[in-house]
């Protein structure tokens, strides 16, 4: 029984679910999105031996737009190698995939409503596909190839407009890496990757801190990110691979239009490095992992929660999200804010402001205990922690790291701002910081 529907059949949503359905058990291999060597020879022969039947594909314009929106996260706007700005179309009965690569990542989109009139493969410039996608989404577009020419046809108000461009030889397409086997995983993993991404370092001199650490250990599976001043770890369900790796916080993984429908992930490594793979109903994404050693992140978690507690209500979290970006600090602490109690309420003011502060904000439904507790923190770091869902922060004294847990098993560690008077004296032990 053939794996795919019969000739000229378009894949429906039900077809895709049957073909790529999530199954319990050990990792399995998802079918490759590339043609086999034999299939390539057959399609090349069909295109050259019978010029009256060129490769021809028809698909709705809206689906082409959907594909290009994701592929644009991999196709570089500028490059010294033109092949990276090409999209490989692989078409044969019942199946059409569009693939882009920059060598460090490979992304393929599986079309669900394409009509394959003649099978084959071709390379199309991304810019030409973008032009083809202009117009009403319900109308169809056509792509065809004859010898070394591409014919692109689109419809406007029922009128067909066609143009020809020179095709790039298929042998210029780079050799892609082997695909790691994948297994089903809880869709929450994708959300955890996105929640951890803002806490990854932007310092290019420390590449191991610039990614998202997928920690697979006996203590639990976590997605971890740190920039040396703060750390977030989100507990996720058991991953199908048991090797920890550092995944780049790429544009595609953070793309909000990527939905975790039938999510599967996998990892494999060889002497040349490791590859992380993520597969959904429509997308097949593979990215080179970051080399190096990730810090022992569990060592920076405070041994005790601490007696000082700041609890921010949901209403006040929304208030801070709107108001804190408008705060401007002093020269030494341009992004710092101080939280303290005043007249029985929690008050936020600019760090370094003389008393009484010139700019302050009351948090009517939040609490800070004990009444002598106070806290100075980077406002951008506080906003990021609130956006990730953390509301209650504990620390031991005015210098210790803040520690927070959410209700889904996530944790956050944040180093407060310190005044010169609070810096350790020579010979005094320093507290470990995230990423150190």
For 272-323, write each residue's pLDDT tens digit: 899 999 999 999 999 999 999 999 999 988 887 788 999 999 999 999 999 9
Domain coordinates in residue numbering, the chain: 32-172, 183-295, 301-422
Give me the CATH topology for the region 32-172. Answer: DNA Polymerase III; Chain A, domain 2 (3.10.150)
Give me the pLDDT at residue 75, please: 96
- Could you give the CA distance from residue 19 to residue 11 in angstroms, rounded to a whole number? 10
* Total Cβ atoms within 10 A of residue 251: 12
Predicted pLDDT of residue 303 = 81
Angle value at C-alpha 436, between 239 and 208, nearest 5 degrees: 50
Residue with tokens 């601490």: 306
pLDDT of 365: 96
Burial of 158 (0-12, 13-18, 19+ CB in 10 A): exposed
Write out pLDDT tens, residues 172-207: 999 999 999 999 999 999 999 999 999 999 999 999
H-type helices in 20-142, by residue range? 37-49, 61-71, 126-132
CATH of domain 183-295: 3.10.150.10
- Calculate what percentage of the chain has a pLDDT beyond 70: 80
Bridge partners (DSSP) of residue 286 are 106, 277
The CATH superfamily label for domain 301-422 reads: DNA Polymerase III, subunit A, domain 2 (3.10.150.10)
Encoding tokens for residue 193? 């990757």
Model pLDDT for residues 114-147, shown as the tens digit of each residue:
999 999 999 999 999 999 998 776 788 999 988 7
CB contact set of 226 (below 8 Å; sequence gap of 6+)? 199, 200, 201, 209, 232, 295, 297, 434, 435
For residues 47 and 74, which has the higher predicted lDDT (pLDDT)? Answer: 74
Given this chain, do its domains 32-172 and 183-295 carry the same CATH topology? Answer: yes
Residue 326 has phi, psi (to 5 degrees) of -90, -10
């Amino acid at each position: 029984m053939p794996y795919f529907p019969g000739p000229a059949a378009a894949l429906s949503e039900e077809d895709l679910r049957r073909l790529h359905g999530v199954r319990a058990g050990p990792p399995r291999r998802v079918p490759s999105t590339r043609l086999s060597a034999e299939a390539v020879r057959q399609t090349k022969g069909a295109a050259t031996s019978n010029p009256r039947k060129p490769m021809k594909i028809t698909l709705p314009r809206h689906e082409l737009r959907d594909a290009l929106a994701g592929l644009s996260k991999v196709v570089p706007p500028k490059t010294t190698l033109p092949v990276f700005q090409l999209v490989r179309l692989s078409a044969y009965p019942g199946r059409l995939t569009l693939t882009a690569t920059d060598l460090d990542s490979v992304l393929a989109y599986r079309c669900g409503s394409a009509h394959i009139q003649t099978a084959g493969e071709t390379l199309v410039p991304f810019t030409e596909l973008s032009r083809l996608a202009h117009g009403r989404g319900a109308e169809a577009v056509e792509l065809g190839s004859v010898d070394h020419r591409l014919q692109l046809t689109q419809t406007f108000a029922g009128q067909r407009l066609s143009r020809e461009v020179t095709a790039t030889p298929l042998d210029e397409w780079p050799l892609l890496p082997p695909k790691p086997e994948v297994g089903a995983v809880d869709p929450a993993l994708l959300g955890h990757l996105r929640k951890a991404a803002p806490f990854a370092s932007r310092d290019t001199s420390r590449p191991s801190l610039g990614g998202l650490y997928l920690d697979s250990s006996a203590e639990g599976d976590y997605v971890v990110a740190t920039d040396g001043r703060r750390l977030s770890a989100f507990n996720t369900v058991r991953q199908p691979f048991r090797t920890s790796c550092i995944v780049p916080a790429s544009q595609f993984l953070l793309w909000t239009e990527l939905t975790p429908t039938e999510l599967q992930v996998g990892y494999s490594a060889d002497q040349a490095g490791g590859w992380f793979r993520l597969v959904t109903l429509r997308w097949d994404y593979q990215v080179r992992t970051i080399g190096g050693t990730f810090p022992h992140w569990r060592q920076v978690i405070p041994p005790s929660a601490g007696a000082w507690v700041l609890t921010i209500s949901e209403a006040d979290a929304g208030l801070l999200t709107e108001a804190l970006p408008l705060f401007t600090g002093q020269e030494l602490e341009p992004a710092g804010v101080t939280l303290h109690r005043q007249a029985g309420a929690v008050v936020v003011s600019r760090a370094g402001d003389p008393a009484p502060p010139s700019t302050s904000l009351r948090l009517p439904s939040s609490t800070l205990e004990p009444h002598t507790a106070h806290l100075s923190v980077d406002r951008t770091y506080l906003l990021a922690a609130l956006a990730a869902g953390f509301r209650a922060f504990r620390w031991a004294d005015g210098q210790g790291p803040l520690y927070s847990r959410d209700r889904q098993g996530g944790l956050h560690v944040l180093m407060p701002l310190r005044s010169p008077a609070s810096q350790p004296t020579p010979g005094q032990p320093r507290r470990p910081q995230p990423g150190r």
